[in-house]
Structure 1
Amino acid sequence: MKNKLIALMMTLAPLSTLASTTVLYNAKGYTPTQDGELAHFSTLVIKDGRVLNRGDQQLAKSYPDAERIDAQGKVLLPGLIDAHGHVIGLGQILMRLDLRDTQSVQQIGEKLKAFAAQSKQKWIIGRGWNQENWPTKRFATAADLDKYVSDRPVVLTRIDGHAIWVNTKAMELAGFKGSEQNPEGGEIIRNSQGQATGVFIDKAENLINAHIPKADFQALSTALDKAGAHLLSLGITSTHDAGISKDIWQLYQQRAEQKNLPLRIYAMLSAADPQLLSMLKAGKTSDANDMLSIRSVKVYADGALGSRGAALLDEYADRKGHHGLMLESPEQLEEIFKTCFTHGFAAHTHAIGDRANRDVLNAYESVFKSTGGKLLRNRIEHAQIVAPSDIPRFKELKIIPSMQPVHATSDMHMAELRLNEQQLSGAYAWQTFLAQGSKVAAGSDFPVELANPFHGLYSAITRQDHNGQPQEGWRPQELLTREQALRAFTLDAAYSAQQEFKLGSLEKGKWADFILIDTDIMTAPVQDIWQTQVLETWLGGEKRYSRQE
């Protein structure tokens, strides 16, 4: 009886193996490849969550016993990778007051009042305002918010995360008296009488934010799930989370152990977290299914252009004598880099202004000579305004520019006001970076911008707004080809996380992360690209999202 059972199991084994193979055929597939080409295919063969093969219609006939899926001629791409976002922030904004589309203080006030009427939150938190979209283009005040909500604290974060606008109640509960000095790397906005107005820039934000009750573990987990579902619906199968706290680090570790992370996450530890050293000492994180990778630290060098916190070599064109804010001194940057590298972690440093980029490059160069770490795939996040003479140093120092194409089209009008022509000559210089052999890792910086990667692809390819303006694109010498843009959101983004042999393209042995979409972004009119809809999202050979018509 025992021998018969063994024989039966041996007979069934090949059938089981065949049954685990899936053939997706009749697709219009595109994928970048390791040899620099853009491959076209119609058939994708998947086994055990990985790509077994890809090819033409004839290949589909080679697996007669496999499960077959007809793609019905739909366009198939590798799962898109967002190389710079804030996952929990996205999840929270989906549950909080979203001010992204507001055009005036009054409109914000009305949304705030309506939100407060239906919310039981003790602190009302919102995000997305941008004074550049208001008729006045000036920061508002706590009194402006008090008109709408005065009995509960209100904290509204600017769209870029580098400024907060609060009401009087929030300042009272934070114990803010108004006589406090600007912290290093921050600014308290004051009126002509020297009184604090209710707007806090960069490191001054913590004067208020430190007093907001922390989200508990369950709230963070809920935010993760909401963000994950949203990103999968947009075709994003992997994201790089730019700066996580100890609480989020613990959440990700636990969810990875439970095997229920909603998508792949490459997380950067926040250099601003007081528990950074304990996280570094715990070592790098990776798992067998490549759902979680933690091997880098997010460092913060300066502020943002919109709040005039980006650190510039020359003064702001629209604020004489003002050069922005460095959040860390050159010596502090070097010390942080040494700490990262000695623990085997890469440093991914936020730098927007040309002074910040130069200081960061100098710090990298100095620490590489004394400590090493040059081969860790270190990055500069944003690299928005770079002195042309500093651009070649990215290649020399093996620094990856991690850039967000949609920032250029969001910022173009504001940037023309903030910067002079010399400063703009190295602005959002994607093609210049590629031409010298640098790899550009593309992302969105969600929730600063919308997470939709097709908006980013469109911005990269056109450097236009959604109305097709300016006609030739803004500073069009820096636009990307369609192939370059796709690669920046796939294989080169994977490279920037040391994952190019696992993710980013549909090549044999890699995870079968892919999407089906309704637009051929390689041939369609460019105006159609940003309107692309994701029909299905597959992660590791499993369907994780399907659009309901």
Structure 2
Amino acid sequence: MAAAPDLVILNGKLVTFDPARPRAEALAVKHGTITAVGATGEIRGLAGSATRVFDAQGATVLPGFIDSHVHLFGGSVELDYLNLYGVEGHDALTEAVRAEAARSDDRVVFAVMAAYDILGPGRQTTRQDLDRVLPDRPFAMFAPDHHTIWANTKALELGGILHGGETDAGAEIVMAPDGTATGELREPGAYKPVLRHTRHGGRDMEGLVTGADPVPAPGPADRARDKAAIARGLAHCASHGITGLHNMDGNFYTAELLTELEAEGKLLCRTEVPFHLKSFDPLDRLEEAAEMRRRFSGDWIWTNRVKMFMDGVVESRTALMLRPYPGTTHVGDPVFGADHFTEACVRIDAMGLQIATHAIGDLAIRRTLDGYEAARRANGVRDSRHRVEHIEVLHPDDLPRFAALGVVASIQPGHAPRGHIFPAHGLDEVLHPEQIPMAFAWQSIRETGARVCFSTDWPVIQVDVMDSVKAAAAPLELPAPWTDQRQDLMDTLRSYTCDNAWVEFAEDRKGRLRDGFLADIAVMDHDLEAMDPEALDTARAALTVAGGRITWEA
């Protein structure tokens, strides 16, 4: 007689994404694997005296969510920083920051989620503004997209950049006519001198800022503090039904901390950590990517991808565009030169590694696709599943190239003006009217046959999956020239589960509720298909199971 399962989930509305059995009511789990999927009566009969029985009470049960674009270390750390989301105006900002300063003994009082127009529409934040907010201590705040930091005078002095300094390609310490910094620091190469003095010494951002390990090497106390922060972040992710993460910044240090957490039984989400190639890196540094792949190749922590940046973001006019921004002669800031990027793509593809490239502006997207196409010509066609991250402003001529080249569109629905999270008017002043119809063109891309995967880009927006599900399936209706890019609910859920398992080359063992697949499962507290789409963001995970282990229970 077969051994009884460890866990059975009954009375659910299972969305299995298994073509052989797309719907079911219940499932059984044993030794970290799904062992049976079927009707409630059938599965109940398998339970033994030691089996944990969970009643889904008619709610949706689906494969565990995989957030395919996160910054785990940074998101984890920022759970404890002052969050300025929704704060508007000098008085409200001052009240929030001074209250945080009274609580914090950090060298730099640091805040996150500061809107570009936090001091008012069209108002540029300066160091003098922030001096008035907090005059006696270093203070800095991150934009939601993490491409800009604003710092007061004391923070700029602490970072040694009050009078400017050297930056990487695509980065800028914005300078005033008097030869001092305005306080606006665009892109990691400009703001890293300030981050070095934050609570975690910038170690949480090193995988993004440099792609290398922290220098100096963290001591035991720093490692313990960093690991504890990541553990809290993983628990936070699990509470939203997430069982897998694709990190978008990485270094050996982050992967080592995750490996230690796995050994301690605290790695609650399967996590891929990429090698991050910066534009200033020699291409020979790709040998480190090969070493990361050799060292980290398990079911819970692995490396199989190289991350690169092609440009910045639209809001700060650092996204790379085919034509100048309205009222300017500026087309954005390339991070990689086109030839350099193409050479990198050819080398990485020849190594059999996947590529993920941040590309937001239409010229950045075109150059990224050009690089992937060149790799195919040089190395031959293979199942590479290379990714373009964000795809916010797309030229119509490049729309069919995703499907034609087998390139994955990696999209964050919550980033769009229609996504309910950021102001609906946020991009009107930085895009030309003719660019808008193909901005955030989720459905247009899907209809070409290209594979689409969804994610949050946490901590750019919160990691709560259902906020992004609502953004995709029930977006705001914006006036012309904005177009309707509404997503079908099943397409949305597939792009957060099954398709995200596929994009990590794991479609034969995860992303479906199927006998023999890994027991990564999310049980929701609502029947998602019965909900008013406008209310989807109120649904939550009732139970999260990763590798057969309960990692969250409401």
Q: Tell me, yes or no, whether TM beats 0.5.
A: yes
Which residue number in structure 2 is paired with residue 301 of structure 1?
Answer: 310
CA contact (8 A) 2:59 2:528 kept: no
Secondary structure in 1 matching 2:429:
helix
Among residues 322, 329, 333, which one is paired with 2:337 in the alignment?
A: 329
**Counterpart check, 1:86 vs 2:71:** yes
> 1-side partners of 2:353 and 2:223: how far apart?
26
Unaligned runs of at least 5 residues, structure 2: 204-221
Q: Which amino acid in 2 is paired with 1:242?
A: M
Give 1:309-324 correspondences, 5 Å limit: 309-317=318-326, 319-324=327-332
> 2-side partners of 1:546 and 1:61: how far apart?
20
> 2-side partners of 1:144 and 1:341: how far apart?
47
Q: 1:171 to 1:373 in 2, by over 3 A?
A: farther
Which residue number in structure 1 is paired with residue 425 of structure 2?
Answer: 413
> 2-side partners of 1:91 and 1:217: how far apart?
14
Which residue number in structure 2 is paired with residue 200 of structure 1?
Answer: 185
Q: 57-66 or 215-224, which moves further after superposition?
A: 57-66
> 2-side partners of 1:85 and 1:179: how far apart?
31
**Counterpart check, 1:522 vs 2:508:** no
Secondary structure in 1 matching 2:303:
strand
Among residues 105, 122, 129, which one is paired with 1:144 in the alignment?
A: 129
Secondary structure in 2 matching 1:244:
coil
Secondary structure in 1 matching 2:16:
strand
Q: 221-230 or 411-420, which moves further after superposition?
A: 411-420
> 1-side partners of 2:100 and 2:447: how far apart?
48
Q: Shift in Å at residue 374 of structure 1? A: 4.5
Among residues 112, 136, 142, which one is paired with 2:97 in the alignment?
A: 112
Which residue number in structure 2 is paired with residue 263 of structure 1?
Answer: 269
Secondary structure in 2 matching 1:510:
coil
Q: Shift in Å at residue 521 of structure 1? A: 1.4
Unaligned runs of at least 5 residues, structure 1: 1-13
**Counterpart check, 1:363 vs 2:349:** no
Instruction: Give aligned pairs, total.
Output: 524
**Counterpart check, 1:484 vs 2:491:** yes
Deviations 1:238-270 (A, max 9, x none): 111111133213222333345431211122222
Which residue number in structure 2 is paired with residue 383 of structure 1?
Answer: 391
Among residues 448, 451, 467, which one is paired with 2:460 in the alignment?
A: 448
CA contact (8 A) 1:45 1:51 kept: yes
Q: Shift in Å at residue 194 of structure 1? A: 5.4
Q: 1:236 to 1:117 in 2, by over 3 A?
A: same
Q: Shift in Å at residue 411 of structure 1? A: 6.0
Deviations 1:164-207 (A, max 9, x none): 11111222122225254765312222345554211111132235
> 2-side partners of 1:473 and 1:184: how far apart?
36
Which residue number in structure 2 is paired with residue 427 of structure 1?
Answer: 439
CA RMSD of aligned residues (A): 2.6
Q: Which amino acid in 2 is paired with 1:282?
A: E
CA contact (8 A) 2:15 2:22 kept: yes
> 2-side partners of 1:41 and 1:286: how far apart?
39
Q: 1:473 to 1:69 in 2, by over 3 A?
A: farther
Q: 1:500 to 1:118 in 2, by over 3 A?
A: same
Q: Which amino acid in 2 is paired with 1:86?
A: H
Which structure is larger by alpha-carbon Rg, 1 or 2? 1
> 2-side partners of 1:379 and 1:274: how far apart?
21
Q: 516-525 or 141-150, which moves further after superposition?
A: 141-150
**Counterpart check, 1:217 vs 2:223:** yes
Q: Shift in Å at residue 58 of structure 1? A: 4.3
Among residues 30, 33, 43, which one is paired with 2:26 in the alignment?
A: 43
CA contact (8 A) 2:360 2:393 kept: yes
CA contact (8 A) 2:391 2:409 kept: yes
CA contact (8 A) 2:34 2:514 kept: yes
Deviations 1:341-364 (A, max 9, x none): 343321100000101000111112
> 2-side partners of 1:143 and 1:225: how far apart?
37
> 1-side partners of 2:127 and 2:484: how far apart?
43
Secondary structure in 2 matching 1:145:
helix
CA contact (8 A) 1:297 1:346 kept: yes
> 1-side partners of 2:244 and 2:483: how far apart?
29
**Counterpart check, 1:546 vs 2:553:** yes
Q: 1:49 to 1:143 in 2, by over 3 A?
A: same
CA contact (8 A) 2:5 2:46 kept: no
> 2-side partners of 1:374 and 1:413: how far apart?
41
Among residues 26, 39, 53, which one is paired with 1:56 in the alignment?
A: 39
> 2-side partners of 1:70 and 1:181: how far apart?
59
The TM-score, its normalising length taken from structure 2, stands at 0.88
Secondary structure in 1 matching 2:456:
coil
Q: 1:474 to 1:221 in 2, by over 3 A?
A: farther
Percentage identity across paired residues of the two chains: 27
Q: 1:100 to 1:372 in 2, by over 3 A?
A: farther
Deviations 1:248-296 (A, max 9, x none): 1322233334543121112222223969545313141687872112110
> 1-side partners of 2:358 and 2:439: how far apart?
15
Secondary structure in 1 matching 2:129:
helix
CA contact (8 A) 2:519 2:546 kept: yes
Q: 1:515 to 1:181 in 2, by over 3 A?
A: closer
Among residues 327, 349, 358, which one is paired with 1:341 in the alignment?
A: 349
> 2-side partners of 1:38 and 1:123: how far apart?
55
Secondary structure in 2 matching 1:381:
strand
Which residue number in structure 2 is paired with residue 9 of structure 1?
Answer: none
**Counterpart check, 1:493 vs 2:500:** yes
CA contact (8 A) 1:285 1:292 kept: no
Q: 68-77 or 518-527, which moves further after superposition?
A: 68-77
Secondary structure in 2 matching 1:478:
coil
> 2-side partners of 1:105 and 1:222: how far apart?
34
CA contact (8 A) 1:235 1:537 kept: yes
> 2-side partners of 1:304 and 1:218: how far apart?
34
Deviations 1:26-66 (A, max 9, x none): 22222223x4x882211112121111121223422552647
